[in-house]
Amino acid sequence: MFVKIALSLFMVFITLVLYSLSKKNPFRNLLGVFGLFLSSVYIFWRIFYTLPDVRTFDFIFAFLLIFFETVALGQNIVLRLLFSKHKPIVVERTQPFTDKPTVDIIISTYNEPEDILKRTIVGCLNIDYPKDKLKIYMGDDGNRASIRGLCEQYGINYIIRDNNEHAKAGNINNVLTKASGEFVLLLDADMIPKANIISAMLYYFEDKATGFVQSPQVFYNMDPFQYNLGMGSNIPNEQDFFMRTMQEKRAHFNAVLHVGTNALFRRAAIDRIGGIPTGSITEDMATGMLIQNEGYKSFFVKETLALGLTSENFQDLMKQRDRWCRGNTQVMKKYNPLMMKNLTFAQKLIYLDGFVYWMFGLQKMVYIVSPLLFLLFRVIIFTANGWDLLLIFLPHFISTSLYFKSISGKERNTVWSHIYDTAMAPKLALSFAGEFLLNRQLKFNVTPKGTLKDKDEFNFSLASVHIFLFAASVLAMAVNMNILFRWSAGTFLSGIIINMVWCVYNMAAIFISIFLSLEKKRLRKTERIPTCLSFKSLITSCAHHENCGHCGTVTDFSEKGMLITLKEYCPNFDFTINKSVELSIESVGTVSGQIARYAKDGSKYEVGVSFNGDDYNLISK
């Protein structure tokens, strides 16, 4: 036993040393390889030394657990592969532009509110690109007179069709029949492009083999985890790790995933695959993969080039992820990247891993239910000495967690990944099983944006499975605590203790997941965009007007108004409600409005400014 403890502690020690050096890429790679070794030892031990008799009922559940643990090992191998390359990607400028090429912007909409579309349109009109080389199209599957009028007001092309066949993919393909630009920028209805969105991506097309360039989806509102849990900016958006870091690493293997928006395409590449592919409810994944299979290159620009709205409540988030899960499963079954002749082995492996990811609902449910089966029904999910399990599992778990921390930085960690997966597991377990096994047809549903809610509401139906799991966990803990207090555990002692620790780990995430179903009220019609721009007052009566560097910062803004924070009390600043004010804002220019409210926050003053009419141009700047 002493040798086992010493060896386990030595493995943990090596892991900690490598992690302390992991800021340097070679040591990070070494940490990843060493972690895979420890994980492989654990899985080998689990398969050959811990499974119950195959002839018993317990073996069914034990097999499910080891199956998903082995799947996790496979995912970790792909993760290490993705993060094994670190050198910057070099663009081969085989065909430099002698003149600016023509670009078409296609905005896809169905039922998004007019004010959201207006933000996107104004953003497109303010893109820094020759106007004679740029055309903007609004493909409206809602066929709304108000949106037609909006497009006429701003002088952009309004396109409709006779039916909504193939949903978003059909909408884009219909617009493509009217457009003729050399390049196509695809935008979702809520994505507000920045002025440099085209120029930042067009450079990559000087390599004539480039098919498309993707930029990240970045959101200016809080996701349900940030909003409903009251965490705000203390945690990143749930999608940030994939949209930024994972996409950047996929680019090293020409396996960038097209995410449906914020991407610039070579029109010839889209035509080569016969237009945007139909037959699934996630046309984006198939689009990028088919273009890559045709031999085109794909690149990723990590810079924020557009801002949009993420799902505003947990129910809408779950509907969106249900669609993504089913759509990716449909694409895998229809196109099967493993059978695509022109994809490299690495590309096939990465796309397979993307499909396997959507099994996480089933995977997490097995992880949650397994300790409950033992604690409540004494189902033997593994047969091993408790010390052996601890000494072999801990090095594997610690190395996996630290490696993940070394690559994800502040964008994700093991604890929040556990919470995210637990929150979505019950719904997505059914989604994956339903699509993969039953092949059930699902209608394409647009994720609602711009919703209002005048009071807090608890969605019991959404939380019901988590409530049941939490109640079962409390019962399991109470029953087994009673057994421990009575010293009647017998041969089950180590098993009870280990599974109780496992159960507590799951309970914490389940408890938090229940609160996600408490949808908080949303009274603000337009989401504010957070920022930190310095400003100074242009009030000429101020004695320090000419010499003052800046009065404070703009905290957030929308087309309706903004919140400014004065760094200190200024007797020359007029705090009178409804008083007109003119401000000079960094990188924006002069903005005028009226004082709507003010409040003291410690030594600082927060002032709400309402604009004289909607200022959509400010958003695009």
**Residue 48's closest CA among 382, 306, 504?**
382
Q: How confident is the model at residue 574 (pLDDT cuts 50, 70, 90)?
A: low
Name which of 99-103, 294-298, 382-386 the model is least confident about. Answer: 382-386
Return the pLDDT at 242: 95
E-strand stretches of 433-579: 457-458, 518-519, 529-537, 552-557, 561-566
Tokens representing 349 are 């492996």
Query: How many angstroms separate the CA atoms of 371 and 378, rounded?
Result: 9
DSSP characters for 147-167?
HHHHHHHHT-EEE--S--TTH
Tokens representing 6?
Answer: 């010493």
Q: Give dist(CA 558, CA 610) in Å, integer.
A: 10
Mean pLDDT, residues 265-287 taken together: 94
pLDDT of residue 621: 60
pLDDT tops 90 at residue 207: yes
Q: Over 70: is that where the pLDDT of 102 sits?
A: yes
Average pLDDT over residues 300-304: 96
Identify the band that residue 413 occupies on the pLDDT scale cut at 50, 70 and 90.
confident
Percentage of residues of the chain with pLDDT beyond 90: 75
Residue 59 has pLDDT above 80, yes or no: yes
Q: What is the pLDDT of residues 519-553, one digit of tens each?
A: 988 766 677 888 888 887 766 555 555 666 567 88
- Could you give the CA distance from residue 221 to residue 215 in angstroms, rounded to a whole number? 18
Taking alpha carbons only, the member of 298, 204, 302, 308 closest to residue 245 is 302
- Which of the four pLDDT bands, split at 50, 70 and 90, describes residue 92? very high
Does residue 476 register a pLDDT over 90? Answer: yes
**Over 90: is that where the pLDDT of 353 sits?**
yes
- Residue 138 and residue 141: Cα distance in Å, rounded? 10
- Taking the CA atoms of the chain, what radius of gyration do you get in angstroms? 27
Q: What is the mean pLDDT of the chain?
A: 91
Record the tokens describing residue 548, joined without a space. Answer: 């003052």
- Is 210's pLDDT higher than 80? yes
Nearest of 278, 254, 214 to residue 343 by alpha carbon: 254
Q: What is the mean pLDDT of residues 136-165?
A: 96
AA letter at 10? F
Q: Does residue 444 carry a pLDDT above 70?
A: no
Residue 606 pLDDT: 87
pLDDT surpasses 70 at 442:
no
Residue 199 token pair: 């120029």
Is the pLDDT confidence value at 608 over 60?
A: yes
Asked if residue 99 has pLDDT above 60, the reply is: yes
The whole-number average pLDDT for the span 509-513 is 98
The arithmetic mean of pLDDT across residues 61-67, rounded, is 97
Q: Give me the domains of the chain, ranges plus CATH numbers.
A: 2-82+359-519 (no CATH), 103-357 (3.90.550.10), 529-620 (2.40.10.220)
On whether the CB atoms of residues 513 and 490 are closer than 8 A, the answer is: no
**Whether the predicted pLDDT of 354 surpasses 80:** yes
Instruction: For residue 470, give the H/E element and its range.
Output: helix 460-485
Query: In 3D, which of 133, 129, 132, 128 has the Cα closest to residue 101?
Result: 133
Q: Where are the alpha helices (DSSP H) in 220-260?
A: 224-228, 240, 247-250
Q: Work out the average pLDDT over 89-103.
A: 94
pLDDT at 96 over 90: yes
**Is residue 256 within 8 Å of 299, Cβ to Cβ?**
yes
Give the C-alpha separation, 287 to 272, whole Å: 11
Q: Are 469 and 367 in contact (CB under 8 A)?
A: no
Q: Secondary structure of the chain: what % helix, strand, coil (to 5)?
A: 50, 15, 35
Which residue matches tokens 């919140």? 563
Residue range 1-49, pLDDT digits in tens: 789 999 999 999 999 999 999 999 999 999 999 999 999 999 999 999 9
Per-residue pLDDT, 454: 66
Position 528 scores a pLDDT of 81
CA separation for the pair 83, 248 (Å, rounded): 10
Which structure tokens are listed for 448?
Answer: 């609602």
pLDDT for residue 229 is more than 90: yes
Q: What is the mean pLDDT of residues 354-382?
A: 96
Q: Where are the beta strands (DSSP E) in 445-603?
A: 457-458, 518-519, 529-537, 552-557, 561-566, 580-585, 589-601
CA 576 to CA 503: how far, in whole Å? Answer: 57
Ranges 553-557, 601-605, 607-611: which has the least confidence: 601-605
Neighbours of 327 (CB within 10 A): 21
In terms of Cβ atoms closer than 10 Å to its own Cβ (0-12, 13-18, 19+), residue 340 is: middle
Token pair of 121, please?
């349109």
Using one digit for the tens of pLDDT, what is the confidence trace for 105-126?
A: 999 999 999 999 999 999 999 9
Write down the H helix ranges in 309-413: 314-335, 345-357, 360-377, 386-408
Q: pLDDT at position 583, please?
A: 83
| pLDDT band (50, 70, 90) for residue 440 | low
End-to-end CA distance of the chain: 66
Can you give the pLDDT at residue 183? 98
Higher local confidence (pLDDT), 83 or 553: 83
**Choice between 560 and 252, residue whose per-residue pLDDT is larger:** 252
pLDDT number for residue 76: 97
Closest alpha carbon to 331 in 290, 294, 291 = 290
Q: Which helix (H) or strand (E) holds 599?
A: strand 589-601
Higher pLDDT, 569 or 598: 598
pLDDT per residue as tens digits for the range 196-205: 999 999 999 9
- pLDDT greater than 70 at residue 452: no
